[in-house]
Amino acid sequence: MQNILVLLILVELCIGGTDAARACNNYAGLCEKPYDTITYLGAHDSPFLNDASTGHSSFGNQFIKTTTQLDAGVRLLSAQVHIGKNDETGKRELHICHTSCALLDAGTLRDWLQEVRMWMDANPNDVVTVLLVNSDGVDARELEGVYSEADLAHYGYIPPDPDRAPPLSNDTNPTWPTLDEMINRNERLVSFINPLKTDKENAPYLLNEFTFLWENYYQVTSQDNFTCAPDRPADQTVLGMHNSGRLFLMNHFLYEQQAFGIQVPAIANISTTNSFHRKGALSDHLLDCSNDITRQPSFVLVDFFHVGPAITTVDIFNGVRALVGRFSRARSGHRRFWGPLLLRLQLSMCSCISEKERA
């Protein structure tokens, strides 16, 4: 059952990508690929940190900040937007908060988007996706105001029809632009927001998440319970989602159930959750879901992304071999351990494809 996917990966690993001068998202071979055919590693709740800045909040989902995540290869950032107020003036302003601003307030949306924009300014060959949970349902116009204040709006990718996903790209029919095309147009930021009433007039680059994406279940509290079935939008099938053109976002993070129904990231299990081949492991889940949907998931959202080989896993799925311009905290310590395994995987995959070709 896993053959289709293995074959896909193999074609990449064995034959390789084009030799464009530019490296898109750290790898030249990705430049020619339509946006929807690549798997992007996502930092779940990117700005909600478990570090000194939050008093090591147990609600934090990442140990290191957004800029460092991007440096390390993360290309999807998720966050929650809430209506807050300015500390000094008391005026309404949008904040990024975890569940509620009383619980964990990571500052203004503007400052965080500005951090993303500064990184994008400094990295002109990278395509980034932002996924915002619009917790208080603010309208597109207000969000657009903050994107503009952060000077991020001009990077916004505007699809041909902001109210309808195109069919999924395939080898003969690319329907999304390639990374090269997005970079050339400098429309390198894709913004999905849930919920959102789109405003084509004023903010055509702010897209309703579930017009373009679908997700599996995300409040998983047992390593045995990762699934690939559509959970949002509700009451859908994999085939239905495929035919709708929606891209699959695979949630892969584990919560620990505490008293009073409170859930916090299961930190003690993180090295298993983000691992390669264990019960509840990221790679196995990714492989299972890829087979279910007969293509690579477009997005994979994880907690504490740099613990374990999450980025390596996604690199393998993308057939990435010669990285350019990646500064990773994650690699040291893992490279030695995973190196031989990856080599084995690649060799077995390559011999498998040549057998297929011979057959």
Ligand X SMILES: *[C@@H]1O[C@H](CO)[C@@H](O)[C@H](O)[C@H]1NC(C)=O
Distances in whole angstroms, Cα of residue 78 to Cα of each of 61, 99, 228, 334: 11, 13, 20, 25
- Residues of this chain, 324-343, that bind ligand X according to CB under 6 A: none
* By the rule CB under 6 A, 225 interacts with ligand X: yes
CA 46 to chain centre: 10
Closest CA to 265 of 232, 218, 313: 218
**Choice between 53 and 170, CB closer to ligand X:** 170
Amino acid at 325: G
**Choice between 89 and 172, CB closer to ligand X:** 172
**Choice between 165 and 213, CB closer to ligand X:** 165
Distances in whole angstroms, Cα of residue 210 to Cα of each of 196, 244, 334: 9, 11, 35
Residue 137 CB, shortest distance to ligand X, in Å, is 29
| Cβ–Cβ under 8 Å, residues 264 and 294 | no
Q: Which of 254, 281, 301, 302 binds ligand X (CB under 6 A)?
A: 254
Distances in whole angstroms, Cα of residue 207 to Cα of each of 132, 148, 226, 229, 287: 10, 16, 27, 23, 28
What's the DSSP call for residue 199?
Answer: B
Contacts (Cβ under 8 Å, ≥6 apart) of 305: 41, 42, 43, 44, 62, 69, 72, 74, 274, 311, 330
Residue 298 CB, shortest distance to ligand X, in Å, is 16
**Choice between 171 and 355, CB closer to ligand X:** 171
Token pair for 74 = 């993360």
Residue 173 CB, shortest distance to ligand X, in Å, is 4
Q: Which of 16, 124, 137, 167 binds ligand X (CB under 6 A)?
A: 167
Query: Given CA atoms 18, 23, 25, 26 in this order, what sign does their dihedral have?
Result: positive
User: Where would I find the H helices in 128-176?
Assistant: 140-149
Residue 162 CB, shortest distance to ligand X, in Å, is 19
- Residues of this chain, 258-277, that bind ligand X according to CB under 6 A: 266, 268-269
Q: Which of 18, 173, 186, 237 binds ligand X (CB under 6 A)?
A: 173
* By the rule CB under 6 A, 150 interacts with ligand X: no
| Cβ–Cβ under 8 Å, residues 66 and 43 | yes
**Choice between 153 and 270, CB closer to ligand X:** 270
Q: Which of 105, 149, 256, 292 binds ligand X (CB under 6 A)?
A: 256
Q: Which of 87, 102, 172, 235 binds ligand X (CB under 6 A)?
A: 172
Q: Which of 222, 237, 294, 354 binds ligand X (CB under 6 A)?
A: 222
Residue 211 CB, shortest distance to ligand X, in Å, is 17
* By the rule CB under 6 A, 221 interacts with ligand X: yes
Q: Which of 170, 184, 186, 237 binds ligand X (CB under 6 A)?
A: 170
- Residues of this chain, 78-137, that bind ligand X according to CB under 6 A: none
Closest CA to 168 of 238, 226, 102: 238
Binding site for ligand X (CB under 6 A): 167, 170, 172-173, 175, 221-223, 225, 254, 256, 266, 268-269
